[in-house]
């Protein structure tokens, strides 16, 4: 496992388009599940009259999910291809779970967007395509699924029609040809996951081969260390142990870390005594590593989830205000100056106020459509000035893109997503 490069793959797309079933097939066909388990699931599913959910059940092993037949949490599963060792992040399609989708997508090297051939593009297909693009997913497979269910079955013309439709959408949000692979598939029947099956007219790649066409981005070890805190524990005999995923840079034992914004004015400073991952001590931690750090000199009540650690020589940037480019995905009315929704950025959740709407952009080209508009609405892209209601760390996407991406949520849904262009630092 260690000798293969690791790839984080997020599975996105409209609800009921077959994401979990496709994931189930991938895991099955890469040997992650013994056949007897599958047979057991099929029996159970049949007994409940939900036969078509059997494969999805492999993945959705939470009881509540089985009863409801939907994916709730972002589940992590592993499999190997010839080239990669892969972690699948299964991002739920339902809107009330979009927040998970955002924390999921922000960690992804690549995406599989599942689009059901009979339905074509639906609301969440668009939303997830925009999100993936805004959140920096640079490579994507569009799996045109349910080809066993077209009329006639395995209809090449329907595949081509949906492909053209999705390609237009992809181009409108700024994807280029070389970033997207279109693959026909039947997740339910298992065609073209590993073997062509009944898709004999298809001369391109299978899903597993297409995944091997992805490339792994170099880990951003050359950037300054940024380590967002997910949780803080106090462990008897050890002391304060923050936990979180390293986004950029390298952490080594003995480093002086500063946590910002922190409950301590100016930031809490401590020494990383030891760094652990999966109960093993590390001599260094790099981006993607989810680590716990035994911290000397900082008490539990000085730091919390949403704080970010960095080296004392290049501390994280606390924003007094910031300029951002956003895409409005789904707002019931309009967004005006003074609007104060919650910004979700890495592990932080902070209410932030729209101070100025500086420019309205064409979401397809990025060209300026209007200066200082009175409002923006669903479908608009814009440049805005934002003021956090309490101190938060955010970095400009020019400097550290991993900490410059955010989602905006309000009324239980994702209203917009965006990237930070420039930060006015709090003094």
Strand segments, DSSP code E, in 297-412 are: 308-311, 318-328, 342-345, 348-361, 368-371, 381-388, 392-393, 405-410
* Structural tokens at position 415: 């209203």
Q: What is the pLDDT of residue 71?
A: 43
User: How far apart, in whole angstroms, are the C-alpha atoms of residue 4 and residue 91?
Assistant: 24
Domains of the chain plus CATH, in order, are 6-211 (3.40.50.300), 227-311 (2.40.30.10), 318-425 (2.40.30.10)
Helices (H) and strands (E) in the chain, counts: 8, 22
Contact 405, 105 (CB under 8 A): no
The pLDDT value given to residue 173:
83
Burial of 137 (0-12, 13-18, 19+ CB in 10 A): buried
pLDDT at 97: 41
CA distance 410 to 273: 40
Q: Which SS3 state, helix, strand or coil, does residue 292 take?
A: strand
Whole-number pLDDT of residue 130: 77
Whether the predicted model's global pTM rises above the 0.85 cut: no
The tens place of each residue's pLDDT in the chain, 427 residues long, gives 457 888 888 888 887 888 888 988 888 888 876 667 667 777 877 888 776 666 666 655 544 444 555 443 434 577 889 999 888 876 554 443 444 545 554 567 899 999 999 999 987 788 788 778 877 788 999 999 999 999 999 999 999 999 999 999 999 888 999 999 999 999 989 999 999 999 999 999 999 999 999 998 778 899 999 999 988 998 888 889 999 989 999 999 999 999 999 989 889 999 999 999 878 899 999 988 889 999 999 998 999 999 999 999 999 999 999 999 988 878 989 999 999 999 999 889 999 999 999 999 876 666 899 999 999 998 888 999 999 999 999 999 889 988 998 889 898 888 888 889 999 999 8
pLDDT score at 72: 38
8 Å CB contact between 193 and 208: yes
């Amino acid at each position: 496992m260690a000798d293969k490069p690791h790839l984080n793959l997020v599975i996105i797309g409209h609800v009921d388009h077959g994401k979990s079933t496709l994931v189930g097939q991938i895991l099955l066909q890469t040997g992650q599940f013994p056949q007897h388990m599958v047979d057991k699931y099929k029996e159970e599913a049949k007994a409940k009259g939900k036969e078509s959910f059997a494969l999805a059940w492999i993945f959705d092993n939470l009881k509540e999910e089985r009863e409801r037949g939907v994916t709730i949490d972002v589940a992590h599963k592993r499999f190997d291809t010839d080239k990669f060792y892969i972690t699948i992040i299964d991002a739920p399609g339902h809107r009330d779970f979009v927040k998970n989708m955002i924390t999921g997508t922000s960690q992804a090297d690549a995406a599989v967007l599942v689009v059901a051939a009979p339905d074509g593009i639906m609301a969440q297909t668009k939303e997830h395509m925009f999100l993936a693009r805004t959140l920096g997913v640079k490579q994507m497979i569009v799996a045109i699924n349910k080809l066993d269910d077209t009329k006639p079955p395995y209809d090449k013309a329907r595949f081509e029609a949906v492909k053209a439709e999705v390609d237009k959408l992809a181009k409108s949000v700024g994807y280029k040809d070389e970033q997207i692979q279109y693959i026909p598939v039947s997740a339910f029947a298992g065609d073209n996951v590993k073997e062509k099956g009944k898709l004999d007219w298809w001369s391109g790649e299978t899903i597993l081969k297409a995944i091997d066409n992805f490339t792994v981005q170099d880990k951003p070890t050359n950037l300054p260390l940024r380590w967002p805190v997910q949780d803080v524990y106090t462990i008897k005999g050890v002391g304060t142990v923050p936990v979180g995923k390293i986004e950029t840079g390298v952490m080594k034992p003995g480093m002086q870390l500063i946590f910002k914004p922190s409950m301590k004015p100016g930031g809490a400073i401590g020494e990383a005594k030891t760094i652990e991952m999966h109960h093993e001590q590390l001599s260094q931690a790099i981006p993607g590593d989810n680590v716990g750090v035994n911290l000397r000199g900082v008490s539990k009540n000085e730091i919390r989830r949403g704080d970010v650690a960095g080296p004392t020589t290049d501390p994280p940037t606390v924003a007094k205000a910031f300029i951002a480019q956003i895409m409005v995905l789904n707002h019931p009315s309009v967004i005006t100056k003074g609007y104060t929704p919650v910004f979700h950025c890495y592990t932080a959740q902070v209410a932030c106020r729209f101070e100025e709407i500086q420019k309205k952009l064409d979401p397809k080209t990025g060209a300026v459509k209007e200066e200082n508009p009175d409002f923006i609405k669903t479908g608009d892209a814009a440049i805005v000035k934002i003021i956090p209601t309490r101190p938060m760390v955010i970095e400009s996407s020019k400097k550290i893109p991993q900490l410059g991406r955010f989602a905006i949520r309000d009324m239980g849904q994702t209203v917009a997503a965006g990237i930070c262009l420039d930060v006015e630092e709090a003094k």
